[in-house]
Amino acid sequence: MIDLNSLKPLDLWGIVKDSLVEKGHPWRVFTLSTVDKECRPQSRSVVLREVEPQSWLVRFYSDSRSPKILQLQHNPHVSLCFWNPQLKQQLRAEGVATLMSDPAGIQQRWQSVKDGPTAGDYTTTLAPGSAVDPLVEFSEQNWFCVVEIKIRSFDLLQLSREGHQRVAVTPDGVTALVP
Ligand SMILES: Cc1cc2nc3c(=O)[nH]c(=O)nc-3n(C[C@H](O)[C@H](O)[C@H](O)COP(=O)(O)O)c2cc1C
State how many domains the chain has: 1
Which numbered atom of ligand 1 lies nearest the CA of 34? 26
Q: How many distinct helices (H) and strands (E) make up the chain? A: 3, 9
- Computed over every residue of the chain, the mean pLDDT equals 94
Q: Does any domain span residue 23?
A: yes
CB atoms closer than 10 angstroms to residue 95: 21
Cα 46 to averaged position of ligand 1 atoms, centre (Å): 5
Q: Does any domain span residue 46?
A: yes
Q: Does any domain span residue 1?
A: no
Q: What is the pLDDT of residues 142-168, one digit of tens each?
A: 999 999 999 999 999 999 999 999 999
Q: Does any domain span residue 2?
A: no
* 60 Cβ closer than 6 Å to some ligand 1 atom: yes
* 122 Cβ closer than 6 Å to some ligand 1 atom: no
* 33 Cβ closer than 6 Å to some ligand 1 atom: no
Q: Which residue owns the Cα nearest ligand 1 atom 31?
A: 45
Assess contact for 157 and 166: CB atoms under 8 A.
yes
Q: Does any domain span residue 37?
A: yes
Assess contact for 69 and 83: CB atoms under 8 A.
no
Q: Does any domain span residue 100?
A: yes
The pLDDT value given to residue 138 = 80
Domain of residue 100, CATH code = 2.30.110.10
Of the pLDDT bands very low, low, confident and very high (cuts 50, 70, 90), residue 131 is: confident
SS3 113: helix
Cα 74 to averaged position of ligand 1 atoms, centre (Å): 19
Q: Does any domain span residue 60?
A: yes
Of the pLDDT bands very low, low, confident and very high (cuts 50, 70, 90), residue 96 is: very high
This prediction's pTM: 0.93
Q: How far apart are CA 163 and CA 179, in angstroms?
A: 9
> Which range of residues forms the domain containing residue 63?
9-177
Report the percentage of the chain scoring pLDDT > 90.
84
Which of 152, 46, 57, 37 minimizes the C-alpha distance to 100?
Answer: 57
Q: Does any domain span residue 3?
A: no
* 26 Cβ closer than 6 Å to some ligand 1 atom: no
